[in-house]
Structure 1
Amino acid sequence: MNAAIWAHPWDVVDEGPERVAQRLTDLGIDEVNLATAMHSVQTLNPHNPDRKTFFADASVYFQPEEGRYGEITPDVNSTMGDRDWLAEIADGFDDTPIALNSWSATFHSSSLGRQHPDATIESPFGDSLIWGLCPSSPAVQEYGRALTGDLTDRGVFDAVEMELADYQYGTGYGWHHQEWFTRMGPLGEFLFGLCFCEHCRSRATDAGVDVERARESARDGLTDRFEGRVAHDTDVGGWLKAHPAVDAYADVRCDTLAALYDDLSDVVSPSDFGYYFKMGGLGDDRMGVEHSWKHGIDLSSLGDLIDEATVLAYHRDPTVVRDDVNATRTLLDAPVRAGILAGHPIVHDRETLLAQTRAAVDAGADALSFYGYGVVPERNLDWIGDALAAIE
């Protein structure tokens, strides 16, 4: 079975691409999903020979093509400087069995959000959620197409895979030291991240939605959650049925993303177009692919546009991993890859990783991806090798 591993470029360049490629080949890994455009991050790197931690603002890890971008341009990683880590890694992998895929968190950039607050997701209260660029914005759409084309045209990737190129979620999945001392729950998260920027409002108005009523209802719903008048575990779908203006407003986002993904699939060709379904937190905080509409994703249209779906099945219980893969295969007409987190807080022993891998395979996963090369200890990499050997 084909297997990939996610990797940050600093770990690959510090250890040496050729050495990393040999290590992965020995484990049974065929592909590296290389971070090319990332959100702000601090990693612990247990087996990195030069640095045990790496901090970066949201940035890209290659030198962008000048003149390709419009209003929004990528921030080059400051540690990388004038180097081009992507080019160095691609050259190092060139004569090895390891294929290279691009992994980009396309619209999850607090750096670009600070620079372009008018292009960010805007809460129902008018707050700029700077961690997330809004896909309704023409400038953001232009940036997404330019970034994707820039990566594709380098000619080094078998696949261009995207994460969070959508409307994301109310807290932005965490990107700094956040102080949220109100339990948002699914409804609070959904409503707080429901964008009311000028572009979203204009598109909804054109679709015949009562935008002001939708916004007022969203604000009231959030206030009710803050004050405990609505339970934290309130069903989002049920709440929307009682608030049809908000329901109609949210639906417009699906059409916006479908059109954008249609454009991106053309830009990516002839490389494969992959998408990651990051639908909830780690472990027991589960929100499966069936909730992708909360991010503005219409599964019925997306299946015709992507070449592969990766479900990030980061769960301790192997039966939940199985359920995630099954649900994705049922709901999406595309090959399904299971993403498995091979470290804390999900996996602490070999047996758990073997059980999760077997569950994904038994559920019909077409391929596997493991997280991640530099952020788990050497022993965990050995566990990945054992898991792959066990399913041969």
Structure 2
Amino acid sequence: MKASAFVYPWDVNGDPAAPGRIAALGVEQVTLAAAYHSTRALTPRHPRHRIVTAEHAAVLYPAGDRWEGRALRPYPAGDWAPGDAFGEAADALADAGLEVHTWVVLAHNSRLGAERPDTSVVNAYGDRYPWAPCIAQPATRAYLVDLAAEAAVRPGARGTELESLGWYGLQHLHAHDKTGGVGLGDAGQYLMALCFCPACREGYGRQGGLDADALAAAVRAALTPVWQGVPSDGGWAGVEKLLGETIANATRAWREETARTLQETAVAAVRSAAAEGFQVLLHADPVSYHVGANPGVDPAHILSVADGVVVPCAGGPGPLTPFAERRAEGAVLAANFTVVSGMGGSPYTLAADAALARERGATELRLYHAGLASDGDLSVVREALAGR
């Protein structure tokens, strides 16, 4: 199976040995960040630094003229990725014989939410999620579609992987996070992800005839026992039990249509901007009401829209099956494994994990993350890939 390693530009730029080291892992491709959220990252082998602090979501290349005069526009990176950091890294990686694909993070932007709070998801209590732009708002949708088209189709890239192209919810790593005190469960997480910004309030009424104020009250009432420590049932049945079947399904219909149409439009925009043969993949979860960096999708639908999906498999290959059952000839089904031991990954089981993923229908591997992993982790990865 073809394998690709995730990489940041700052892992490569300023480190002449990095491209060869990544190629020596045995990967054929790199998935290189072109638009990324804020982060603090280790660079354990870089000759000039050990920690990179990307202070806000940014494009890692010079933004184009399409943004002139627009209220919503991408932010330039600071000194963590100056100039055309993506282009510099892409050239170096290509010179090492690696195929470069862009890694584009979309509906995940804390600076946008801080400076433009009206763009954020608002929960049933009125709390805003500044990291989560609401994908129902027309201006936000237009921004995300144009960002996808520009950031995906960078010079030299042969394809793209679009992350966070869908709803984001409460699940979000944050500085000094203190949100784990109550186990919300799958159902509670869904209810806390429901948005009540003006666009969504109108959408609930148009899609399912729901009064937004009554819906918010119902969500708060449904969550009362959860806050008291009563576990919620798992799966969609748990949501229906808390909120009621009719109301729950009306909210789901609105949210799924909103995400589906955004994904269709963004993929079409990327293809319009790209040369023939450019590959478009989405990071995705096969449970359509899930939210986050791997947003929930309907497997049959998304495989009719994109060239394939990248599926998180850190907890096992189970999420591959719904996609494999609906995969058409030529579609990419990439199993994504964390290979950084310090982040809960398991490089020592990569060979066995990859074999099981292939049995479940995976056609490619994704390795998170070549820049963050220790030398020991990378050595194990190299051995595992050599045995493919």
1:59-138 to structure 2, matched below 5 A, reads: 59-68=58-67, 70-80=70-80, 82-138=82-138
Residues 281-296 of structure 1: matches in 2 within 5 Å?
289-295=285-291
- Residue 378 (str. 1) matches residue 375 (str. 2): yes
Q: Which moved more, 1:325-334 or 1:119-128?
A: 325-334
Alignment-derived partner of residue 198 in structure 2: 198
| Residue number in structure 2 paired with 1:37 | 35
Q: Percent sequence identity over matched residues?
A: 24
Structure 2 partner of 1:286: none
The corresponding residue for 1:282 is none
Cα deviation 1:62-101 (Å, max 9, x = unaligned): 1111343632111222124652201211232343421111
Taking only aligned residues, the RMSD between alpha carbons, in angstroms, comes to: 2.1
**What is the letter of the counterpart of residue 227 of structure 2?**
F
For 2:253, the aligned partner's letter is D
- Which residue of 2 is the match for residue 325 of structure 1? 320
Distance 2:216 2:235 in 1: 19
- Select between 90-99 and 154-163 the one with higher mean Cα deviation: 90-99
Question: What's 1:177 paired with?
Answer: 176
Structure 2 unpaired stretches of 5+:
none
1:166 equivalenced with 2:127 (yes/no): no
Matched AA of 2:133? L
Give, in angstroms, the shift of residue 327 of structure 1.
3.5
State the partner residue of 1:254.
Answer: 256
> Does the CA contact (< 8 Å) of 1:203 and 1:252 recur in 2?
yes
CA pair 74-97 structure 1, distance change in 2 beyond 3 A: same
Partner AA of 1:273 in structure 2 = V
Deviation at 1:332, TM superposition (A): 5.4
Give 5+ residue unaligned stretches, structure 1.
278-288
Give distance in 1, aligned partners of 2:155 and 2:8: 20
CA shift for structure 1 position 247: 2.3
CA distance in 2: counterparts of 1:5 and 1:362, whole angstroms: 21
Range with bigger deviation, 239-248 or 100-109: 239-248
Deviates more, 1:216-225 or 1:189-198: 216-225
Kindly provide the CA deviation profile for residues 185-217 of structure 1, in whole angstroms up to 9, marking residues without a partner as x. Answer: 222211111111111122222224213332221
Distance in 2 between residues matched to 1:301 and 1:364, nearest whole Å:
18
2:386 counterpart of 1:389: yes
**Contact 2:104-2:151 at 8 Å conserved across structures:** no
CA distance in structure 1 between the partners assigned to 2:376 and 2:111 by the alignment: 35
Q: After TM superposition, give the deviation of residue 5 of structure 1 in Å.
A: 0.2
Runs (4+) of structure 1 exceeding 6 A deviation are none
Equivalence for 1:216: 217
- AA of the residue aligned to 1:148: A
**Shift, 1:235, TM fit:** 4.1
Which 10-residue stretch deviates more, 74-83 or 372-381? 74-83
Of stretches 76-85 and 34-43 in structure 1, the one that deviates more from structure 2 is 76-85
Alpha-carbon separation, structure 2, partners of 1:227 and 1:306 = 42
Q: CA deviation at 1:152?
A: 3.9
Q: State the TM-score, normalized to the length of structure 2.
A: 0.88
Q: How many residues align?
A: 370
- Residue identity in the other structure for 1:26: A
Change beyond 3 A, Cα 1:252–1:348: closer
Question: Counterparts of 1:124 and 1:243 in 2: how far apart (Å)?
Answer: 18
